[in-house]
Amino acid sequence: MTFSISLRFAAALILAAVALPAMAQEAPDALVKRTSGEVLQVVRTDPKVAAGDKQRIREVIETMLLPNFDFEKMTALAMGRNWNKATPEQQKALIEQFRTLLVRTYSGALSQYKDQTIDFKPMRADPAATDVVVRSEVVRPGQAPVQIDYGMTKTANGWKAYDVIVGGVSLVTNYRDEFNEQIKGGGVDGLIQTLRDKNKGVSSKS
Amino acid sequence: MKMRAYAAVVAALLLLSACASAPGRADDPLEPMNRAMYAINKPIDDHVMRPIAQAYVDYVPRLVRLGVSNVFGNIDDLFSGINGLLQGKTEKAGNDFGRVLVNSWGLFGLVDIASDLGIPKGNEDFGQTFGYWGIPQGPYLFVPLWGPTTVRDGTGSLIRIWYGPVGYIPNVALRNIIYGIGSVDLRANALGATSMIDEAALDPYTFVRRAYLQRRQYLVYDGNPPPEKDD
């Protein structure tokens, strides 16, 4: 019995060892395509998501979307030249608060994607590239299609998104202005406080 | 709403702002005035425009709303075609004029048959044409009841309103009703975006400004804008 369990355990370990690097190698466009397909499927079929169950929506985002983002790179880029002026503790707080803000923003927007279909454009990238843009197009009935591009970087744990560009509007660029303004007003700590207040405010409203 | 009268006021404002020069951000030298306009617009939007648009979405059947969007979209396609031509983009202009022909045929553009036939919808406008020919965007402007624009894009919008087919409707009441429906349709289509901005933005004014300017730059360059400087 014990033997059989440990044998199975060993088999599982070997399987994981084989499968994990294979998953880490998943091409960036394949990763985005698979993830958005899976999330769309849940948005369309999960009755709790359809009913606007905040906790379930957050759970979907936390488990299905977030593992594919590089929040440190995202925060560093949004901070721009201010990033190196922040202490490691401030950087940690910034990453955490920015992540929370994006989860909340995505939570509110998720149900809007119900009626949409997503087309992916073939990606022409150098196989050795470590930074690519995955291009997709969201088609909505009766409206001009919207381009959604993902800035992706290759990490030890596979490809991760660090920017989302919706119809030409880069999330990182947009927040760079916002962060700059807050830092000008109250320094890095001022920005962290604003993010905390914002996250608390939105959470109490939801 | 007297669209043309409002347009004239905005035109005067544009002229004024184009003459004024104030220190500040290069792309938003009129920030103090714009923020004041933003503050004026906020309660009007919160208590009038947004609730009307929300009620429209809640109580008017989806197919009717889609039809309304399609009718106005058909007019947009016409102007998109004109602006495609003005920029020498003959293939895109051909698509736009083709869409107008197909969609106007019979149903006044109520049904977007062209999209079902796979003719892609364009989105060229006068502001983009000016940008294409190298005219700078000029100062950023926030106009109450209208939203974000620039001197260049605002001028384009004024030309568009001035020469739009609705302006030629002789019956003033009917004309104003159509302008009203158009405004509600526009606002309703932006409900998703504005509620997202409420959740995402630390300072909605800054957020809207950067998003608008990025979007316009992207459109002027047809999706391939030169990279922004990283600062």
HEC string for A58-101 = HHHHHHHHHHHECHHHHHHHHHHHHHHHCCHHHHHHHHHHHHHH
B199-220 tens-digit pLDDT: 899 999 999 999 999 999 999 9
Sign of the dihedral through C-alpha A40, A44, A45, A51: positive
Report the candidate in A73, A67, A70, A71 with the shortest Cα–Cα distance to residue A23.
A67
CB pair distance less than 8 Å for A169 and B211: yes
pLDDT for position A203: 46
Minimum mean pLDDT range among A111-115, A201-205, B34-38, B50-54: A201-205
B70-118 tens-digit pLDDT: 999 999 999 999 999 999 999 999 999 999 999 998 678 898 889 888 8
CB pair distance less than 8 Å for B214 and A144: no
CB pair distance less than 8 Å for A105 and B200: yes
Neighbours of A198 (CB within 10 A): 19
Helix axes B172-189 and B50-59, enclosed angle (nearest 10) = 90
Complex confidence, ipTM: 0.80
pLDDT for position B106: 62
Query: What are the CA-CA distances from residue A162 to residues A19, A29, A99, A189, B9 (Å)?
Result: 25, 14, 12, 23, 43
Residue type, B126: F
The mean pLDDT of B165-175, rounded to a whole number, is: 88
CB A75 within 8 A of CB A101: no
Residues of B in contact with A145 (CB under 8 A): 120-121
Query: CB burial class (10 A; 0-12, 13-18, 19+) of residue A85?
Result: exposed
CB pair distance less than 8 Å for A167 and B218: yes
Q: Are strands A117-120 and B147-150 parallel, antiparallel or unpaired?
A: unpaired
Report the candidate in B122, B108, B97, B126 with the shortest Cα–Cα distance to residue B70.
B108
B112-162 tens-digit pLDDT: 889 888 888 889 999 999 999 999 999 999 999 999 999 999 999 999 988
pLDDT for position B159: 94
pLDDT for position B11: 66
A136 Ramachandran zone, left/alpha/beta (phi>0; psi -120 to 50): beta
pTM here is 0.84
Query: What are the CA-CA distances from residue A103 to residues A71, A97, A100, A153, B187 (Å)?
Result: 11, 10, 5, 20, 26
Categorize the per-residue pLDDT at A126 as very low, low, confident or very high, splitting at 50, 70 and 90: confident
CB B141 within 8 A of CB B157: no
| Closest residue in chain A to residue B200, using alpha carbons only | A105
Smallest Cβ–Cβ distance between A174 and the set B115, B207, B217 belongs to: B207
Minimum mean pLDDT range among B14-28, B46-60, B181-195: B14-28
Mutate to test the interface with B, among A79, A169, A170 (most CBs of B within 10 A): A169
CB pair distance less than 8 Å for A168 and B199: no
pLDDT for position B3: 61
A142-195 tens-digit pLDDT: 667 788 999 999 999 899 999 999 999 999 999 999 999 999 999 999 999 999
pLDDT for position A140: 74
pLDDT for position A18: 56
B210 Ramachandran zone, left/alpha/beta (phi>0; psi -120 to 50): alpha
Q: How far is it, in rounded angstroms, from Cα A150 to Cα A73?
A: 13
A2 has a pLDDT exceeding 60: no
| Closest residue in chain A to residue B213, using alpha carbons only | A169
- What is the DSSP code string of B74-136? HHHHHHHHHHHHHTT-HHHHHHHHHHHHHHHTTTTTSS-HHHHTT-------HHHHHHHTT--
Q: What is the DSSP letter of A121?
A: P
Q: How far is it, in rounded angstroms, from Cα A180 to Cα B117?
A: 46
Q: How far is it, in rounded angstroms, from Cα B189 to Cα A87?
A: 43
Q: What is the DSSP letter of B227?
A: P
Report the candidate in B133, B132, B127 with the shortest Cα–Cα distance to residue B156.
B127
Q: What is the DSSP letter of B174?
A: H
Residues of B in contact with A173 (CB under 8 A): 210, 214, 228
B1 has a pLDDT exceeding 50: no
pLDDT for position A128: 83
Q: How far is it, in rounded angstroms, from Cα B196 to Cα A174?
A: 13
CB A162 within 8 A of CB A171: no
Residues of B in contact with A196 (CB under 8 A): none
Joined tokens for residue B191: 């409900």
CB pair distance less than 8 Å for B195 and A181: no
Smallest Cβ–Cβ distance between A174 and the set B123, B211, B217 belongs to: B211
User: Distance from CA of residue A42 to its chain's centroid?
Assistant: 17
pLDDT for position A205: 41
A52-103 tens-digit pLDDT: 888 898 899 999 999 999 999 999 999 999 999 999 999 999 999 999 999 9
The mean pLDDT of A34-42, rounded to a whole number, is: 89
Chain B residues touching chain A at CB-CB below 8 Å: 66, 69-70, 73, 112, 115, 120-123, 189, 192, 195-196, 199-203, 206-207, 209-211, 214-215, 217-219, 223, 225, 228, 230-231
CB pair distance less than 8 Å for A105 and B199: yes
